[in-house]
Amino acid sequence: MKYNKRNVDNLNKLADNTKAAAFKWYQYCVDNNIEVLIYETIRTVEQQRENVRKGASQTMRSYHLVGQALDFVPIKSNGTEDWNGYNKEPWASAVRYAKQIGFEWGGDWRGFVDSPHLQWNYKGYGTDTFGSGDYHVKAEEKPVWTNEKNPNDGSIGTVTLANAVNGYSQPDMKSEYYAKTFPGGTYKAYGSTGGFVGIGGGVYVPNDALEYKAYTAVVTPNGKVNMYRDARISDETFAGTVDASSTWKVLAYKDRMYAIGNNVWLPADAVMIV
């Protein structure tokens, strides 16, 4: 999270119950890579009076004065604010989650719409308390984007076998197709068909004997990337663009292209595989 320290410092100024709810919401943002800047929480009477004078607020009975509100702005992948981003994903999901856990959102107000504003009504205006101490958040930094460590063997995920499992030369458990028995452990996955996953060497294991984890493709942060309707880059197969830093589940690999949907492919050089 780009503004993690500033966000945490501001959240710790809130009243106790509001702070607990706000940190729960902020942890959701962190866990889902939703970049935000929490630029204001508690205000002084003088600050609120100035906001009313400028038209930024309409009342001196602001929930900011009693530590029961925060203001935030979406942060785009290039690090700039997006004041029109509240109804766009992923920030719309953050707003929905805030409302789900009990916040009132100023973007729902009629008349004076205040999209940056999240308000914790608790038991009413000024009913929250102070004194719980500082909270902290598990805010792991995103890994630096690089495609230098991407797999070059055509794998699209991993499978974990809890116990020894028979492998077959065809996606079929007939005895004539038996190839070898694999001990429990983790193996690379190269595709799936007919209830089986290929784990290399032309060998398949049944889906019900494994735990499958698909790779995630993280798009370069340097800008939008073209997507294609086939594992072939051409004007004929162009299918639009995906956003910088967006993440996608890998479904298939072919000719240095990753499938992220039904007939939707991205160039391998434009994604980091994790």
- pLDDT at site 140: 55
Cβ neighbours of residue 92 under 8 Å, at least 6 residues apart? 86
Per-residue pLDDT for 111 more than 70?
Answer: yes
Left, alpha or beta for 105 (phi > 0: left; psi -120 to 50: alpha)? Answer: beta
**Mean pLDDT, to the nearest integer, of 167-184?**
96
Q: 115, 46 in Cβ contact below 8 A? A: no
Nearest-CA neighbor of 70 among 112, 133, 8, 140? 8
Cβ neighbours of residue 117 under 8 Å, at least 6 residues apart? 69, 70, 71, 105, 106, 107
How far apart (Å, rounded) are the C-alpha atoms in residues 1 and 33? 7
How far apart (Å, rounded) are the C-alpha atoms in residues 26 and 38? 9
Nearest-CA neighbor of 178 among 170, 190, 188, 186? 170
Environment class of 104 (CB within 10 Å of its CB; exposed 0-12, middle 13-18, buried 19+): middle
How far apart (Å, rounded) are the C-alpha atoms in residues 104 and 245? 30
What percent of the chain clears pLDDT 90, i.e. is strictly above it?
79
Nearest-CA neighbor of 116 among 70, 177, 164, 50? 70
**Mean pLDDT, to the nearest integer, of 7-16?**
95
Q: 69, 117 in Cβ contact below 8 A? A: yes
- Going from the C-alpha of 17 to that of each of 11, 94, 122, 135, 197, the distances in angstroms are 11, 19, 8, 12, 48
Per-residue pLDDT for 138 more than 70?
Answer: no
Nearest-CA neighbor of 204 among 180, 186, 176, 175? 180
- pLDDT at site 141: 56
Q: How confident is the model at residue 89 (pLDDT cuts 50, 70, 90)?
A: very high
For the CA atoms of 173, 168, 194, 228, the dihedral, rounded to the nearest 10 degrees, stands at 180
Per-residue pLDDT for 139 more than 80?
Answer: no
- pLDDT at site 54: 85
Reading the block at residue 26, the tokens are 């902020």
How far apart (Å, rounded) are the C-alpha atoms in residues 176 and 273? 36
Cβ neighbours of residue 13 under 8 Å, at least 6 residues apart? 41, 42, 67
